[in-house]
Structures are given as C-alpha cells and as structure tokens.
Structure 1
Amino acid sequence: MQRLFPVLVGLVLLVAALSSCVFVVNERHSALLFALGEVRETITEPGLYFKYPPPFENVVYLDKRLQTIETRDPERIQTAEKKNLLIDSFVKWRIADPRLFYVTFGANSGAAVERLQAQIRDALNAAVNIRTVKQVVSSDRDTIMKEIQSAVAQRAKPLGVNVVDVRLRRIDFAPEISESVYRRMEAERKQEANRLRASGAADSERIRAEADRKRQEVLAKAYAEAQAKRGEGDGTAAAIYAKSYGKDPEFYSFYKSLEAYRSAFAGQDSGLVLSPNSEFFRYWDRAQGDKAAAH
C-alpha cells in the first residue's frame, strides 16, 4: 500500500498537468491565448485546443454573443427649437476584435458599455440638436437612427466593437413643453380641418353651379324644342281650320260659336251681361239655330 501511494500521487499530478494543457472554446466565446503575459493567439472558432501549463500560457475568454445596451433613464436632448425631448434608446453590439477589445477594456465588459453609452449620447445630441421636434418624432426618425449607428460604429471600431443596430424606442416631450406642443398640434389640426372644409365648400359651389348651368341648358333646349313643336302644331291646326273654313264658312262659324259658349259658361257661377241682339248670341235663338242647321 505504501508503494502504491506515490504512484497514485504521480498519476494525479500527471492528470492535473495534462488538464492544464487542454482547454475548450465553445460557440458563445472567443479566447485569447497568453504566453508570459503577451497575446500569442486569438481563437474564435469553437473546439478543443492545447497549450502549455501555467504560468507559461493561460487563456482568457470573451463573450462574442450579441449584447444589448438599454438606457436606464431617458436622455434629455434639446432640439433646434430649444425644446427638450426625453429619448429612450437601445443598442445591439458584439466584440468584433477580441485582441483590440482586451487591450482597451481588459475582460471588463462594463467598461465597454460605459464607453459606448457616452458615444451614443454624443451621437444622439449631434443628430437631434439640428432638427425640429416634428422631424425627430416623425419624418426623420429613421434617418436619425442611421446617423447614430454610423457615428457610433465608426468610433467603436478601433475599440474592437461592432455596433450592429441602434433604435430609438420611445420619444416623449419633457413635462414643461408637453402642454404647449399639444396646443400647437391642436391648432394645426384645426387649421387643416378648416382648410379642408373651405376646399369642400368651394368644390360644392362649383359642382352646384355646374349642375345649375347644365340644368338651364337642358331646360332651354327642351323649351326651344317644345316651342318648335307647338309652332308646328299651331301651323298644322291653322291649316286644318283654314281648309275647313273654306269648305263651309257658315258651319265653321257655328262651331266656333259653340266653343265660345262652352268656354263662357264652363263655371258654376258664370254669367255675362250682353245684349240679346249682340253678335255673341248670333246662334243662340232657335230660329237662327234652325237657319244654321238648314245651311
């Protein structure tokens, strides 16, 4: 038993020495292999690797996954109109160059986050300070995000960091200007509504005038056609009357007198004050009527 103890100790030491010479890099990390304090190799592919045991060589792991920086409190940024906005943003980033990242920040990701937050704040101020509230809130929002991403990515590249995306999550008005902004927006909406009403009223008047003009044209055309038809009818009737008068003038005169009687006494209270010997009663008495019938 005493002879086996040194053997077991030797085996344990051998296993420990061999395990210190092997290290594993998984898909979530990259590794920096140091030789006597200097970076000898950068490993970004997952797998099993070998090295000399400490203190000759050692390994530092860095997270290469996509990471997020979210603002704890909204940033107060001033626009070109000297209006304060509260802007909440977030940034997606990852370690692009492990060697540069380690030289700049060591293995401390918190220091990298603080540096990136400062750069984001500067880029956000530069993009918002030259724009109005309306541009920041609506029309130029996508452009602002692209400008911030480009500026931060350019400044972060020498640090070994790749800025993937920048988003403005929420933009609010500061409490001291919210009421004035809302009143101005309300006034603008009312002005737009009045403009649309005025435009609609003008279109209505134009359409109504056009319809009246067409109506007058149609009525005038119809009246002209009616007058023409009436004239043709009157002419035809006159021709028939003239022809009938030529055949028997006395009968024609008698017929017209009957029509005159019918028109004169059509009402219930109709009455005429005339002499019995007037021309109007020419065919009224029986003798004249018999005379007319004899003709």
Structure 2
Amino acid sequence: MKDFYSDYKLIIFDLDGTLYEDTDHFDHYASLLKERVALEHQEDFIADYIAMKKGAHAVGIGKAYDAVHDSVLTLDPLTLKVTHVQNWDGSEWDQEKVRSTYKDDLTFDFENIIAVGDGWWLPYSSARHHGVSVEDTYQCYTRTKDFMVTDDFQLTKTPGLKEGLLKLKEEAEVVLVTNSEEDDVQRLLLELDLDEIFPEIVPLAQKPVQTKEIFQNLMKKYGASPGETISIGDNLINEIAPALLLGMKTIYIQPTGIELEHDNLKVVNGLEELFK
C-alpha cells in the first residue's frame, strides 16, 4: 500500500463493504422489508430493487433519495451539491425546480434525505417509496444484523487482509469508523478474525452527517495532517467525498469503477488488490 501514498500517519477504515464485501445480506434485508410492504405493492417493491441492482433504475449507488418529495438526486461527487433530480419513474425535473427545491446544502438525516452510498440503501429506498415506515425499516435492519452473526450466514474473509492490516499497524495508526452499533462491530470483526486489529473503533458514526467532524477529531488526536491521512471505504458519500473535501487521501472500493478523477483518489476493486 506504500506504493499508492507515502508518508501517511493515520488510516481510517470503514467496515461494511470494505473489510468484507459479501452482498447476500442485502437480499436478506430486502426479503424482510417485503413483508412490511402492502401485499398489492410487493411485486413492484421487488421489481424496483432488482432494477436498482442492475443499474436500470433512477435510484443507484452514489445518489440520494428524498423520501419527502419521492425524488432521486444526482450529486456532484466532490461537493455533494444536487445537479439533477428525477422522479421515481426516471422522468427529469427541470433545472429551475431543482434549484428552487434544493438551493440549500443537503442534510442527510437517514429518514428524509438518504445517501444511497452502498447496498443497504437500495432496498431501503424501495421500501420507503412503497410505504414502509422508518421504524419498520430499522426493525428489519436489526434483524438482518442478527442474521449476519448466525451459522446460516458466512462472511468471506479477504485473502491477505489480516496480514496486510498487521503490517500497516507497524507504520501508522489504524482506526475503524462505522455506522454499525458496537456489539455488531465486535461480532463481525470476530467472524472475520480481525478482532484485535483496531486499537480504536468509532461505532454509530452517523456518516455522512458526522464524517468530517469525526475525521477532523481523529487527525487532531493522532497529530496527522490531511495529507498524512487516508480514508478507505466503499461509500462515496460517507467516506470518500468528505475526506477529499478535507484534503485527505482516499481509497475508494468500487468494483464497477467510477468516472471521477482526483489527485487524492485511488479506485480499487477491493482490499485484496491493496495487499497483493
């Protein structure tokens, strides 16, 4: 990894989609959400979710969903400003309506304005569109997290990851920042055999709302400048864009690639690529 960036002091990792890349749990989450959708809309819910996974829907990774207006927002990946808006069916808003409706900076609150940064938020967005309450989505999420630590769910360990992380610890401070609850984090790390890797873990991080503040506090704590700090994650909105705005270096895990170039951005297929 030293080949990518030199002179780093602090490396900040995400958990879900970064330290493990399995996706079956998203489908399990969708199956639980389907039960909360009205019977007459369940087929539409699944059809929308499948279309999202195929990239054939207005909602997609890297966008945002406005549950109040039932609209899909395309964002500038570096400033997170709204550039285009679509209705659920994909029809476009005119730019005057876009500017008047989204003239202020977005506030991602996990209920009304949702950053669709990874696979968790695809079934969530479809469920909200089809009438599922925030409370019901959270219950389904916690049930999915419980499922992920049972014998029926097996996480795939990334080859060379543990060895690579241990080497990194000899050169820099490594910190885990995740939106997951502390108990879930510990169980997942134990499953991945990474439970003794991170001396500091920040759970319930509320990314992207708190990302910049958390990163700034960590840099201050460990005496690292933005140029000496790397954010590694699979979520453009949660971990990458805020870090770039702070002047940090970033490694974005995105198997499908991205049309974005930045001096402080490295795009990789997965962590295995870093530790070969």
Which structure carries more helix by proportion? 1
Which structure is richer in relative contact order (CA contacts within 8 A, separation 6 or more)? 2
Which structure carries more strand by proportion? 1
TM-score, scaled relative to structure 1 = 0.21
TM-score, scaled relative to structure 2 = 0.22
